[in-house]
Amino acid sequence: MKLTTLLRPAAAVVLGALVLTGCGDDDKDKKDDQGAAPSGSQSATATAGQAPADAPKKIVSLAPTATEMLYAIGAGKQVVAVDGLSNFPADAPKTDLSAFKPNAEAVTKYTPDLVVISDDIDGIKQKLEAVKIKVVEVPAAKTFAEMYTQFNTLGTATGHTAEAAALAEKMKKDIDDVVAKVKKPAKPLTYFHELDSTGYSSTSKTFIGEVYALFGLQNIADAADKDGSGYPQVSSEHIVQSNPDLIFLADTKCCQQDLASVSKRPGWDKIKAVQTGNVVALDDDIASRWGPRVVDLVKTVGAAVEKAGANA
């Protein structure tokens, strides 16, 4: 998934945000990755030991998900700067560095010995390596397995191998525990995951689709993905006709969407999810980042499935 090929308005906003941002409070134009105490955040990080002497001492992160991962594995004290969209954890040293238009000269001002990116935009990797700065790329994960591998990659790169491995194992266990405890309905429920109010969604073959698949949910956006991108724009008519049992809104912060607002859309008052109140407001950031707070997303989806199943 290369951000350089994406243009607004189409899926550019959605896909670009999936890779780099989540909506956040700082950028109303970029969307898609709940409050609650984050399971994989600092509060639940594996015991962090001191990084070895040869570990990088000054890290710059140019990706919000990478920033969350670095702090979760205990490398936060080594981070000297993060991009302007890295809004979690709150004490991360946010700057005006751009994740979408990275500037090598601006990055080098922080004299980092490691820079973490999610995509090699405008040849930023080669430019930094040309001045002897190590670069680690953690592209948008398509599966849980890829996400866990990225934790280990960052752990190795930062001198926190043990902490990263422990966190990955804890996340796996926490997710398995959540899924095991959720009472699943006899008949699989259908759902629609909204990235923005124009109908962009993500299908079963995306990372977010894998979260829903944990609970056997069936994605109504799959049939609309004619080009196989994984992020189709689904017509309102298709959504109404599909009549999903659940609707998940990943555009609550960027676009102030909620049950009340979607109920006013033409025909949506006839949708089962709207009638039963099974419209779930997600935190845009958590719903778009494949990092430590995925556990929180899984918990939210699990609770929604249990509630909707009881009403089915």
* CA atoms of 85 and 63, how far apart (whole Å): 8
Beta bridge partners of 200: 233
* Percent above pLDDT 90 for the chain: 79
Instruction: Work out the pLDDT band at 52, boundaries 50, 70, 90.
Output: confident
* Chain segment 254-307, per-residue pLDDT in tens: 999 999 999 999 999 999 999 999 999 999 999 999 999 999 999 999 999 999
Q: Supply the pLDDT for residue 232.
A: 96
Q: Is the predicted pLDDT of residue 42 greater than 50, yes or no?
A: no
- In this model, does residue 8 exceed pLDDT 90? no
- The confidence score (pLDDT) of residue 312 equals 62
Tell me the mean pLDDT in the region 74-82: 97
pLDDT in tens, 139-171: 999 999 999 999 999 999 999 999 999 999 999
Q: Has residue 23 got a pLDDT over 60? A: no
Q: Which long-range contacts (CB under 8 A, 24 or more apart) does 115-118 make?
A: 115/59, 115/60, 115/61, 115/62, 116/59, 116/60, 116/61, 116/62, 116/63, 116/66, 116/70, 116/154, 116/157, 117/62, 117/63, 117/66, 118/19, 118/20, 118/62, 118/63, 118/65, 118/66
Split at pLDDT 50, 70, 90, the class of 49 is low
Q: Which tens digit of pLDDT belongs to each residue from 97-117?
A: 999 999 999 999 999 999 999
Label residue 41 by pLDDT band (50, 70, 90): very low
Q: Are 214 and 305 in contact (CB under 8 A)?
A: no
CA 82 → CA 95, 103, 105, 142, 257, distances in Å? 6, 13, 15, 23, 29
pLDDT level of residue 44 (50, 70, 90 thresholds): very low
Which contiguous run of DSSP H or E holds residue 207?
A: helix 207-213
pTM, rounded to two decimals: 0.84
